[in-house]
C-alpha cells in the first residue's frame, strides 16, 4: 500500500515541517511550489495544504487528489470549476482568525473615533490642527455577520462599553455579549442605528453588492464603515461617491473591491478613508494556529473519518 502523498504547497518553516513529518506516519510529504514542475510527483498527490487557490490546470494534473486544506477561513475563491466537478473535499482554517480580526477592527474603531488619520496628515504637513475626538464607550457597534470573527469582536467590544447589535444568517439565540441580534432582513435597522459598522461576512456571491445606494444612505452621517472580510459587498464607484459626498463619516478598508488596490483608485486619496493591505487576519502566531488544525484533519483523512471545517461546495462555506 502506497503512502499518502501530501503536498505542502506553501512556505511552511523548517521547524513546523519537521514536526509534521515526525508527528504523522504513513505519509510522503513534499514541500514547495517547485513541485508543480514534476508531473510524476503530481500524479500521485492525495492531499494539498495551500495558501493560494489551485489553478484548474494544476488540479487536472493531480488525478488522485481527494482533499485540499487552505489557510483561510473563507474558501469560496478556491472553488474552481475543476474542484467543483470532482469529489474533492475542501476544508478551511475557520476559528483561528477571530482574535486577530477583532483586535484589528477595534484598532480601526479607535483610530477613526480619535481622529488619528487626521493627526497623521497634519503631522506630515507640519500643521498644528485642533481636532475633536469622539468617545467610543456608549456608542453602538453594528456587526454584519455574527460568525467566528464577529462573535470575538462582539465579546471584546461589549467589555469596552459599546452597545452591540448584529445580524446573522440564522438566529437561534441571543448571546449575552450582544444587545440585539436580527436575521439579515433587518440590515437596514442595523445600518440606521450603528455608529461603527463592521462587515464580517463571507466573500460569496450572495454577499456581493449587499450594500447599495439605499443602504449606504441609511447610515448615520456620523457613522464609520469598517470592511474586514467582504471585498465585493460594496461596489467601488459607489463607495467613492458616498465617501466624497459625505453620506457617512468615513471608512476603514482592509477588504477592497480590487486587490491589490490599483494606483488609479480614488480611494487612496480620500481624506476620510483608512486603507490596509489585508492585514486584519494576519498574526505572528499563524503557524502555531494553522498547523494543529491541518494535522488533526490529516489524521482524520488517513483514518477515513469526517474532516473538520468541511466546506459545503454548493453553498461556498
Kindly state whether residues 110 and 155 are assigned to the same domain: yes
State how many domains the chain has: 2
d(CA 198, CA 200): 6
Kindly state whether residues 108 and 250 are assigned to the same domain: yes
Kindly state whether residues 61 and 174 are assigned to the same domain: no
- What's the pLDDT at 76? 86
b/e map 115-127, b = 16+ CB within 10 Å: bbbbeeeeeeeee
Kindly state whether residues 103 and 234 are assigned to the same domain: yes
> Could you list the pLDDT tens digit for every one of the 317 residues in the chain?
689 999 999 999 999 999 999 989 999 999 999 999 999 999 999 999 999 999 999 999 999 999 999 998 888 889 999 999 999 999 999 888 899 999 999 999 999 999 999 999 999 999 999 999 999 999 999 999 999 999 999 999 999 999 999 999 999 999 999 999 999 999 999 999 999 999 998 877 888 999 999 999 999 999 999 999 888 899 999 999 999 999 999 999 999 989 899 999 999 999 999 999 999 988 889 999 999 999 999 999 999 999 999 999 988 87
DSSP bridge pairs for 226: 198, 252
pTM assigned to the model: 0.89
Kindly state whether residues 102 and 135 are assigned to the same domain: yes
Kindly state whether residues 11 and 46 are assigned to the same domain: yes
- What's the pLDDT at 2? 80
- What's the pLDDT at 231? 86
Kindly state whether residues 218 and 138 are assigned to the same domain: yes
d(CA 64, CA 42): 9
How far does CA 197 lie from the centroid of its chain? 16
Residue 175 Rama label (left phi>0; alpha psi -120 to 50; beta): beta
- What's the pLDDT at 91? 97
Kindly state whether residues 91 and 120 are assigned to the same domain: no
- What's the pLDDT at 257? 87
For 260, the domain range is 98-275
Contact 183, 156 (CB under 8 A): no
Amino acid at each position: 500500500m502506497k503512502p499518502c502523498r501530501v503536498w505542502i504547497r506553501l512556505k511552511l518553516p523548517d521547524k513546523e515541517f519537521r514536526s509534521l513529518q515526525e508527528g504523522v506516519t504513513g505519509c510522503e510529504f513534499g514541500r514547495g511550489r517547485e513541485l508543480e514542475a514534476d508531473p510524476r510527483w503530481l500524479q500521485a498527490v492525495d492531499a494539498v495544504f495551500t495558501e493560494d487557490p489551485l489553478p484548474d490546470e494544476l488540479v487536472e494534473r493531480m488525478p488522485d487528489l481527494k482533499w485540499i486544506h487552505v489557510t483561510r477561513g473563507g474558501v469560496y475563491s478556491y472553488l474552481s470549476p475543476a474542484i467543483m466537478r470532482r469529489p474533492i473535499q475542501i476544508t478551511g482554517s475557520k476559528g483561528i482568525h477571530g482574535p486577530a480580526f477583532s483586535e484589528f477592527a477595534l484598532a480601526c474603531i479607535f483610530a477613526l473615533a480619535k481622529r488619528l488619520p487626521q493627526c497623521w496628515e497634519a503631522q506630515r504637513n507640519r500643521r498644528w490642527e485642533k481636532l475633536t475626538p469622539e468617545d467610543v464607550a456608549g456608542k453602538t457597534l453594528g456587526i454584519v455577520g455574527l460568525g467566528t470573527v464577529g462573535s470575538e469582536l462582539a465579546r471584546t467590544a461589549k467589555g469596552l462599553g459599546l452597545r452591540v447589535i448584529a445580524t446573522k444568517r440564522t438566529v437561534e439565540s441571543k448571546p449575552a455579549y450582544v444587545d440585539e441580534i436580527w436575521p439579515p432582513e433587518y440590515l437596514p435597522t442595523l445600518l440606521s442605528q450603528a455608529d461603527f459598522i463592521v462587515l464580517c461576512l463571507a466573500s460569496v456571491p450572495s454577499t456581493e453588492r449587499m450594500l447599495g445606494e439605499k443602504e449606504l444612505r441609511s447610515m448615520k452621517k456620523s457613522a464609520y464603515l469598517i470592511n474586514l472580510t467582504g471585498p465585493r459587498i460594496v461596489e467601488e464607484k459607489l463607495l467613492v461617491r458616498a465617501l466624497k459626498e459625505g453620506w457617512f463619516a468615513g471608512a476603514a478598508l482592509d477588504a477592497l473591491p480590487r486587490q491589490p488596490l490599483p494606483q488609479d483608485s480614488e480611494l487612496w486619496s480620500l481624506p476620510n478613508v483608512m486603507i490596509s493591505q489585508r492585514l486584519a487576519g494576519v498574526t505572528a502566531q499563524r503557524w502555531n494556529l494553522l498547523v494543529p488544525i491541518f494535522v488533526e484533519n490529516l489524521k482524520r483523512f488517513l483514518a477515513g473519518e469526517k474532516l473538520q471545517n468541511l466546506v459545503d461546495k454548493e453553498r461556498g462555506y
